[in-house]
Structures are given as C-alpha cells and as structure tokens.
Amino acid sequence: MLAKFWMIITAVTVLTSPVIADEIKIATWNIQQLGQTKAGINESKNEKTKARTEYHKANDTIGKIAEIIKKGKFDAVAIQEVQDKDLKTLPKLLETLGANWKYIESKRTGRGRQEQYAIFFNPVKLASKDTIHLYDDMEDNWDNFSRDPGYASFSYQDFEFIIITCHLDPQQHAAYEAERLDDVYEAVKCQTGNSNIFVLGDFNLEEGPADIAFQDAGLLDEKNYPEMKAVLDATQDTTVAGENDETTFDNILFDSGQFDLKEKGVYRFDDELGEGYNKDISDHYPVSAIFEIRDIDDDTDALPLAPPAPSIAKIKLSTWAFLRNID
C-alpha cells in the first residue's frame, strides 16, 4: 500500500551583520583666507573688497567648500586660516553644510594678521568636549610660535582623543616652530591626561633643509618618539595646481602604537570635481587619513555619546513542504 505524508523541513539560517572596525577619518585643510569675502557675505564699502565678495558669491565658493568637505566624508576636518573677527563665516559654512555637522572654534591668534582655527565634525560619529583651546607658548617670556597651536578633545564611543591643529609661520621660521611641536604635544598630554593625540595642520615646510630638520627633530625624532609617524612622506604635493611641486606643506602626525593607518590621501578637488573647483577655493588641498583604533577601551573619562549600533544577529526561517511516497 502506498502511503503518502507531508514532510516539513525548516531550515534556520543565522545571518550576522558584519563587524565594523573602530575607524575614524581625520582631515586637515588650510582654506586660504577663509572669511566673509570668500563666503560672499562681506558688507564692506571698499570697492575692491565688494568686487571680490560679489565674485565669490556668484561662483558659490562657500558652497563648493562645503561640497568638498561632504565629498571627503570626514569625521572631523581641522581648518586653518580662518580670518573673520566678526565670526560670521563659520556659521555660514555650517548652514551650507547642513544639519549633519557641528563645529568648534578657537580665539584669534597671531602676531600680525590674526587667524582662528575651526574643526567641523560629524556629531553622529564624534562628540566634542567644549572648544579649541590655544597653547600658551610664552616659555621664558619668549614667544616661540607666530600663531599659537590649538587643541581640542573629542570622543568616539568610549575612546577619547585630542586634535592639535597648527599653522606654522612660513619661510625660515617654519623649521624652528616645527621642532618645538614636541613641547606642545607634551604640554597638552600633561594638561589633559590623554596621550591619544593627532598633530596636524599646515607645517609650511618646503622640501629641503627645513623639511630634513623636521624629520630629525621634534615629534619625528625617532629616539624620543619612535612610534610617531607622518601620514604623508615629503614628496607628496598638497598645494593646488602644482604651485609647489612635491611640497608636503600639510600633514597629519599620529601615534602608530595607538592607531593603525588604513588609508591616506590628498583630495585634489580640482581634478575630482572639475571646472570651477580651483585656487579660488584655496591654494591647499585637504589631507585626510582613516585610522583604526587599536584599543577602544580607553581609561580616560569618555564624553556622553549615543551607544553604537550593536552587531545584530538576524534569524532567517525558510520552510519547505513536500509530498513523499512511502511503499
């Protein structure tokens, strides 16, 4: 007699979402004379200034700056050479970037023409402690830096880190200032109790004796700082339109004992984005790097931040029913 019955088989498949590495993308960008004229909002009566303001407004220079930042997909970008005593330019850039960004700024600094530092960041990824503080370098009543470096604290999940941003004086003074960045590093580390530090900015070091001096002194002295590395070597030009071929003015220094360098790059916006993206925006390119954090369990007090999305295990149920004959 032929017997028939339904056999039901249920397969269970466990799908686990891929684990995302603990990575942060940090950038530095000297935006040449970033102020109200470049933002297209300068109300000066000076005819030359009015003409330049109208030019930048018509060409939407501030919109192009925002587009470059968004295209770069940075978690934080440190900006040097902000020149706006009335503090209107950075809010304009934030408005242009949109709701997914925040920024912090420093007070003005400089012996002659004064500038500010700014750091724009993704608040979904990072949390900021307060503002950018200026390093007080009046050592023995001697001012070592033309523009005092700035520093700010951030946290990613439970990991807190520091960004030191600087715009060193050009020409022969750059090497002198660069060799003293270790003093800034040590002072910030002592004051914050945190050694997870990036040092970045426009170092203004042309390839040659000054650059060689920088490689052998200060933070890149292998004897005193064996794990401190530079993202770019001295042959990668960071200036627009080949103005200074093979001149690495801009760079990011990091502790290779704490961070693994995963990717690095110079965002050549004139090549990437085409016509209209030129030296009117800046004479420097953004320099960025992706770092993987080796030890996310930092012993410093973390800043409050929404917990990261967990790795989710999904269960997929699949059922087949078929008719089987039994003799």
* pTM, entire model: 0.83
Residue 156 to residues 75, 122, 129, 220, 233, Cα–Cα distance (Å): 10, 11, 11, 26, 28
Core vs surface per residue 142-159: b (16+ CB within 10 A) or e: eebbbbbbbbbbbbbbbb
Mention every residue, 6+ apart, whose C-beta is less than 8 A from residue 190.
none
**CB burial class (10 A; 0-12, 13-18, 19+) of residue 174?**
buried
Choose among 103, 29, 99, 106: nearest CA to 65: 29
- Residues present in the chain in total: 327
Distance separating alpha carbons of residues 283 and 31, to the nearest angstrom:
7
Query: Are the CB atoms for 103 and 190 separated by under 8 Å?
Result: no
3-state SS, the chain, equals CCEEEEEEEEEEEEEECCCCCCEEEEEEEEEEEECHHHHCCCCCCCHHHHHHHHHHHHCCHHHHHHHHHHHHCCCEEEEEEECCCCCCHHHHHHHHHCCCCEEEECCCECCCCCEEEEEEECCCCCEECCCCEECCCEECCEECCCCCCEEEEEEECCEEEEEEEEECCCCCHHHHHHCCHHHHHHHHHHHHCCCCEEEEEECCCCCCHHHHHHHCCHHHCCCCCCCEEECCCCCCCCEHHHCCCCCCCEEEEEECCCEEEEEEEECCHHHHHCCCCCCCCCCECCEEEEEEECCCCCCCCCCCCCCCCCCCEEEEEEEEEEEEEEC
Distance separating alpha carbons of residues 143 and 262, to the nearest angstrom:
37
Ranges of residues in the chain whose predicted pLDDT is under 70: 1-21, 138-141, 171-172, 207-217, 241-246, 296-327
Tokens of 259: 């961070």
Distance separating alpha carbons of residues 23 and 189, to the nearest angstrom:
22
pLDDT, residue 212, reads 61
For 3-325, which CATH superfamily applies? Answer: Endonuclease/exonuclease/phosphatase (3.60.10.10)
Distance separating alpha carbons of residues 67 and 185, to the nearest angstrom:
32
Task: Report pLDDT digits (tens) over 52-62.
Answer: 999 999 999 99
pLDDT, residue 321, reads 44
